């Protein structure tokens, strides 16, 4: 068994065609709270994987406490290939729309969480995923994807994002894209440093 990734939340190991993801206990948390959190997150992630309507890992089993076993998907991350194949963004848009039509929010929609295998794009890493019907959550998913493009793929970001949006056609497309503009506006507002307003207070004249 080979460790292929280790983050703050989990250790991911591969054995043949199988991936085992185990959430790590956090010593700074109360043991009962820690166990409850790991259980809830493991169950939620397993449920999302089991209900995926798009190419992704297949759930094999879970202990409903801290471990998920799923099928392995071999292939390069889209983070490594999108710059040379920006047209792949079309498929990403279509897959994201399907995900959102099934009320699944990925939560970490970046090209590092997508693999290319046999010319098929697979979404992976559903550790932050959840079910939601909220327009806001779907808009935020897209906003995070755009931020990932701007950060990791600045040479093709504009083209890739345009292709993504052209092919992102869920049932609630118009409402989601309208909310997306609001989300992006909030992001720009937070990123803009506030200018210090000149004081209206008059200086006190010096005594003669």
108 annotated active-site = yes
Alpha helix (H) residue ranges in 51-134 = 78-81, 88-101
Rounded to whole angstroms, the Cα distance separating 152 from 137 reads: 23
| Cα–Cα distance measured from residue 83 to residue 46, given in angstroms and rounded to the nearest whole number | 32
Pairwise CA distance, residues 56 & 58, whole Å: 6
Distances (CA, A) of 120 to 100, 136, 156, 180: 19, 29, 20, 27
How wide is the angle at C-alpha 120 spanned by C-alphas 104 and 143, nearest 5°?
40
Asked if 123 and 106 count as a contact pair (C-beta separation under 8 A), the reply is yes
List the catalytic residue out of 34, 83, 108, 137: 108
Instruction: Phi first, then psi: give them for residue 20, nearest 5 degrees.
Output: -115, 120
CA distance 195 to 90: 40
Return the structure tokens found at 118: 């046999």
Catalytic residue ranges: 108
């Amino acid at each position: 068994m080979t460790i292929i990734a280790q983050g703050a939340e989990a250790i991911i190991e591969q054995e043949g065609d199988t991936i085992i993801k185990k959430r790590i206990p956090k010593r700074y948390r109360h043991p009962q709270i820690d166990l409850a959190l790991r259980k809830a997150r493991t169950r939620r992630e397993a449920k999302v994987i089991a209900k995926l309507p798009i190419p992704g890992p297949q759930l094999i089993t879970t202990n409903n406490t801290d471990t998920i076993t799923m099928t392995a998907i071999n292939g390069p991350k889209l983070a490594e290939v999108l710059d040379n194949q920006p047209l792949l963004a079309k498929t990403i848009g279509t897959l994201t729309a399907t995900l959102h039509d099934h009320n699944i929010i990925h939560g970490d929609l970046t090209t590092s969480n997508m693999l290319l295998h046999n010319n098929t794009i697979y979404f992976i890493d559903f550790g932050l995923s959840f079910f939601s019907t909220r327009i806001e959550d779907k808009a935020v998913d897209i906003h995070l994807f755009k931020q990932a493009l701007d950060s990791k793929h600045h040479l093709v970001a504009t083209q890739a994002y345009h292709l993504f949006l052209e092919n992102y056609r869920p049932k609630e497309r118009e409402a989601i894209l309208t909310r997306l503009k609001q989300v992006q506006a909030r992001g720009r507002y937070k990123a803009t440093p506030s200018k210090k307003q000149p004081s209206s207070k008059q200086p006190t004249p010096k005594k003669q």
